[in-house]
Amino acid sequence: MANDALRQAMTGARLTEQELAKACQVDVKTVVRWVSDEGRMPHPRHRWAASEVLGVDETVLWPDSIRKNVKTGVDREVVAVYPYRSACPKSVWRRLIADAEKDLTFAGYTNYFLWLEIPNLRGALRRKAEAGCRVRFLVGDPTSEVTRRREELEDVPLTVGTRIKITLDELAKLADVPAVEARYGDDHIAMSVFVFDDEMLVTPHLAHLVGHDSPMFHVRRCQPDGLFDRFEYHVTRLWETGRPIPALHATGRPAD
């Protein structure tokens, strides 16, 4: 049986089999087999590449990628695992943000990459907040000792403090939206958690590596006190102990 979902996605993206093969770095005959045989399962890295270029979640293109890995234990909440944050298709981020109705929490230390990789994120957050969705950002303090030490470890031109300030500048443009909140926190330097209602993306940061080089887990809530709830507890505690950034709303820009 043909993979109609893949064929339709290619048509929607106006991509030929040759073009998809080039994007996924495989032979065109391989793509032909993907399209003609619904049961053929590409290698995960090829599924991620196809999902990225087509702008469609891999579970839509290959539902069996989830069905064949159905679990009954506590780890059943793990939807997907990516060896690098950058390997997670942007379509996953777009879908999670678009589907969220109650809670969007971005507890990354800088959250800098979001503004680069998600088109018109500011507009999407404004619409979500105005529709009643709570939008929260927990970021590191650009002047803290924790930030300074992290900058020494990473030793990259675009420093941690600079990346945080870019996020604060973007949030300042949403200062007129009360449902968008931001707080400073230092205790999440080693792990980023991004919450979208009952789903989340979690990145434990490795040694001196920057976020996009660290692994990522896609988690979906399936049970009480499971992985989702444990990570949600982490975010809740960080938010409760976070320091408000009042100048962000009082003046439209964070204080220097």
CATH label of the domain that carries residue 32: 1.10.260.40
Sequence-distant (6+) residues with CB within 8 A of 216 are 81, 82, 84, 85, 87, 88, 201, 202, 203
pLDDT score at 144: 93
Same domain, 33 and 119: no
- Is the pTM higher than 0.85? The answer reads no
Same domain, 62 and 79: no
Closest by CA to 196, choosing from 214, 220, 229, is: 220
Residue 91 in any domain: the answer is: yes
The last residue of a domain, from among 52, 67, 82: 67
The last residue of a domain, from among 16, 38, 67: 67
Residue 256 in any domain: the answer is: no
Phi first, then psi, for residue 117 (nearest 5°) are -100, -15
Per-residue pLDDT of the chain (256 residues; tens, 9 = 90+): 789 889 999 999 999 999 999 999 999 999 999 998 867 788 888 888 899 899 988 888 887 766 555 555 657 899 999 998 888 988 899 999 999 999 999 999 999 999 999 989 999 999 999 999 999 999 999 999 999 998 888 888 889 999 999 999 999 999 999 999 999 998 888 899 999 999 999 999 887 666 678 899 999 999 888 899 999 999 999 999 999 886 664 434 455 4
pLDDT score at 203: 94
Instruction: Quote the number of domains for the chain.
Output: 2
Q: How many helices (H) and strands (E) does the chain have?
A: 13, 8
Same domain, 136 and 207: yes
Same domain, 166 and 55: no
Same domain, 80 and 173: yes
Interatomic CA distance for residues 65 and 58, integer angstroms: 8
Same domain, 38 and 124: no
Same domain, 88 and 189: yes
pLDDT score at 250: 42
Same domain, 40 and 112: no
Range of the domain at 193: 74-250
CATH label of the domain that carries residue 149: 3.30.870.10
Residue 255 in any domain: the answer is: no
The sign of the dihedral angle between the CA atoms of 51, 54, 57, 63 is negative
